[in-house]
Amino acid sequence: MSVTAEVLAKFWLAQQRDTRCGAPLSNSPLFVRAMFANTTKTARMMVVCRCSVGDQIFSVTPSTNYEFDYLGQSTKGDLNLNFDHLDAFGMDGPATLQGPIEEVAMKEAEEAKDLLNDLGISSPSSARNSSRGIFCSRTLNLRSISAIGYDMDYTLIHYNVKAWEGRAYDYCLGNLRSMGFPVDGLAFDPDLVIRGLVIDKEKGNLVKADRFGYVKRAMHGTRMLSTQDVSEMYGRELVDLRKENRWVFLNTLFSVSEAVAYMQMVVRYDEGAISAEICPPDYRGLYKAVGKALFRAHVEGQLKSEIMSKPELFVEPDPELPLALLDQKEAGKKLLLITNSDYHYTDKMMKHSFNRFLPNDMGWRDLFDIVSMPYLSALLHGK
């Protein structure tokens, strides 16, 4: 007899005792009875079980207090049998639920725990508290993947956003000043813009759209618009990123400095401080001027020269990242580095971020089978 059947049978016998004592069977918290259904081929026995959580026969593991079992599965929402009710029926709760299946499960749980300890791996219950945890919405079988390509900036090399984008902003404002724009009194505000927002070049706004493309929040210049203003301005209009002449998606951290400068220039434009001689008299022309100033900051070399001279001020190294790539290479994968930075800058930054964490005098170049510079990167990014 299985453990479950044994428990149900004991409950049934206990219920029979309750019935003989005059207790109404239909009001009992758990009711088990045998029913026979005759068919033309066979007779089947059906066991009907009715349980009530309200009567506290079972309790449900709440979402605020759950654990992970030995398979790494969450116990949230699990039904737990209340041993006190088993005791009320004259049964030893823990002893009743022990059986071959439970013994195997407990043994496997102990073996899994010992294996994790031997490998130096934290238990599954600590995964949700990991500072390096990753949310995965799908899985990918890497056995069929023979080559893996990486970008460098903000992928293999993570910059200090405030430091890097702050200096890019400073150089951008310097170029705007040389073009005649009024930039006195402006300062970089990294909290003004985040990646994932969209610039509306037609209205001089920064908008946040939902997954359907409807604008939910908006800011004109540096001023947040009210819900009523947003509704009157956009209504049921959709943000269509395919219309690049109007919408600009801030999809990289490099967009932060540009967006901050643009939104601040919108304020100066609305104040009438920017004349038509400086740029075309609309928000599109203003965006083009800011983009040109930032582009000059990137290509003229002063910004990158400053970063290369003091990379420790701008780069946040990750000691585990080079080792992760080394694991992939030793697993037989071909690794590619694809970047639109020049080789001099790439070599300097990769040496700073990778070489000291690699074993046996390896260099970053030893990790990659192919290193691709501006032309292929521009092609892949559609530029």
**What is the crossing angle of helices 255-270 and 283-299, to 10°?**
140
For residue 133, what pLDDT is reported?
66
Average pLDDT over residues 282-307: 91
Residue bearing tokens 């819900």: 227
Strand partners, 220: 205, 223
Q: What is the Cα–Cα distance from 291 to 297, expressed in whole angstroms? A: 10
- Picking from 38-52, 62-76, 355-369, which range would have the lowest pLDDT averaged per residue? 38-52
Of the candidates 350, 282, 290, the one whose C-alpha atom is nearest the C-alpha of residue 315 is: 350
Q: Provide the percentage of residues in the chain whose pLDDT is more than 70.
A: 70
pLDDT in tens, 27-57: 444 433 333 334 333 333 333 334 444 455 6
Pairing of strands 370-372, 334-338: parallel
What is the β-pairing status of strands 79-81 and 147-150?
unpaired
Q: Which residue type, as a one-letter code, is found at position 123?
A: S
> Is the per-residue pLDDT at 349 higher than 50?
yes
Instruction: Report the C-alpha gap between 327 and 325 in whole angstroms.
Output: 5
What's the mean per-residue pLDDT of the chain? 79
How many CB atoms sit inside 10 A of residue 292's CB? Answer: 15
Angle CA 161–209–286, to nearest 5: 65
Q: What is the DSSP letter of 225?
A: P
Predicted TM-score (pTM) of the model is 0.62
Q: Give the total residue count for the chain.
A: 383
Task: Please tell me the distance from the alpha carbon of residue 354 to that of residue 317, in angstroms, as a whole number.
Answer: 8
The vertex-180 CA angle with 177 and 184, nearest 5°, equals: 45
Average pLDDT over residues 125-132: 61
- 44 or 104, which is more confident? 104
Q: How far apart, in whole angstroms, are the C-alpha atoms of residue 314 and residue 317?
A: 10
What average pLDDT does the segment 76-89 reach? 67
Pairing of strands 198-200, 147-150: unpaired
Q: Does 125 score more than 50 pLDDT?
A: yes
What percentage of the chain's residues is helix, strand, coil (to nearest 5)?
45, 15, 40
Grade residue 124 by pLDDT with cuts at 50, 70 and 90: low
Q: Per-residue DSSP letters for 73-133?
A: -B-TT-EEE-HHHHHHTT--HHHHT-SHHHHHHHHHHHHHHHHHHHHTPPPGGGGGG-TT-
Structure tokens at 200: 């509306």
Maximum distance among all Cα pairs of the chain, rounded to whole angstroms: 101
CB atoms within 10 A of CB 200: 20
- pLDDT band for position 69 (50/70/90)? low
**Which DSSP letter does residue 159 get?**
B
Residue 192: which pLDDT band, with cuts at 50, 70 and 90?
A: very high
Alpha helical stretches, state H, the chain: 3-20, 83-88, 93-96, 100-119, 161-178, 227-234, 255-270, 283-299, 302-309, 320-330, 343-354, 374-380
Q: How confident is the model at residue 196 (pLDDT cuts 50, 70, 90)?
A: very high
CA distance 290 to 14: 82
The answer to whether residues 329 and 367 touch, using CB atoms and an 8 Å cutoff, is yes
Please give the structure tokens belonging to residue 315: 């780069």
Q: How much is the pLDDT for 2?
A: 47
**What domains lie within the chain, and their CATH numbers?**
3-111 (no CATH), 142-157+316-380 (3.40.50.1000), 161-311 (no CATH)
Statement: residue 189 has pLDDT above 90: yes
Query: How many CA atoms does the CB half-sphere of 275 hold within 13 Å?
Result: 4
Question: What is the pLDDT averaged over residues 57-63?
Answer: 72
- 226 DSSP assignment: P
Do residues 193 and 263 touch, judged by C-beta distance below 8 A? yes
Res 146 pLDDT > 60: yes
**In this structure, which long-range contacts are made by residues 75-81, counting pairs with CB atoms below 8 Å and at least 24 apart in sequence?**
79/53, 81/57
Compute the distance between CA of residue 60 and CA of residue 71 in angstroms, rounded to an integer: 19
- Residue 354 reports pLDDT greater than 90: yes
Q: How confident is the model at residue 231 (pLDDT cuts 50, 70, 90)?
A: very high
